[in-house]
Structure 1
């Protein structure tokens, strides 16, 4: 079985995001970029499937700018076998929309014929949480989202999903689209020897035109702004005073 893992290049989760002065978007100048944390979990799970003998090959794919090569090399250093880079823009500030990403991934799936797609449930830069679901619709495959446990059982997958009410366990037929959540695993660190080996692993480069996909944007960003600063708290001297304060603000 082949496992396909889409990975996205995003601002590192340790970096405080800055908004451009004109409100046109996020400032990416001299900002550290890294693999989306949810995608990193997906890569780790794909490698574990291969180590368990349940997968034969792990293919990482990334869509965006040329610099996404760095993100793919990280996936290769972790243990992916090869990578596919789809260069969809030259501007690092251009975020390819989820529908366009899903269409590109559908074209890659048609070529690669994987048995399962493991993707992060969302990207931490736009929090769309839409690509996996759109991809399932385009392929007609089963889907399992917000997955915290995964067990491949022949031609089906038993998954545990994190839902508002707790945990939900379902069985989906293969091939399938799985979007992973935080508690699925703890991604490994790439060792120096594996980082060196990753430089020699194959990486194919394509464009949306090669795959016959139109990526013309359908959304327009009107403005980008910082969230409102959190107001200072109030100290109270007793429970009665706390209740009165809550009544004043309409909380009780």
Structure 2
């Protein structure tokens, strides 16, 4: 599933084409996504100038004078920029066509993504209002994380993957951040001491920053706006490296299940 780095990579890829552009039309070929695409959406945005393009958690927000277009990539979605009107393929569900002729095409084999509309302030939309802070913002610091972890004894890996605690720390990035901070993924969240919390916050920020720079991870379905895969997973310390030597100490990486998700850790480096 595309996570924060993949969505941010997509945002950066499409931004030069969308920012300050005007929408000619929205062409919907399949409206049955995770939630039905609103029937009046093409009429709402036709002829409207795009004012901004933002990301909140895993949502892309395209701002207009009258509201905000909310896009979620779901489990297998991708957005690609087309400079010509190439014939759509089976899983190409909608095109956002700009006045310049450029098309933003959404492809989603599993149809678990979303195209929705928010009147007024998009931050008040039900899908966005309760989200935690952005991990690369100043709002996500040791004080915030310490307060969140003190309230739960669940595994720390599950806690940092909770979008109410902090957004965008998906399975791959949680495993990598915990390795970098030296924290075992099964540790009860409330048992982390201040030094460990400091290290974990720094590790989350560093891991996600590197992942964005690498264009996201080599997930099976993820490609960026130019159709290229991400490469962060090639540099992973633990994720997907079960029974291979730790790159730091040489101990074999182990694989376990936490909250129905596969997790990886080094039994020597992580306590």
Q: Per chain length, whose mean CA-contact separation is higher, i.e. which structure has more relative contact order (CA < 8 Å, sep 6+)?
A: 1
* Higher strand content, 1 or 2: 1
Same fold (TM over 0.5): no
Q: TM-score, normalised by structure 1?
A: 0.28
TM-score, normalised relative to structure 2? 0.27
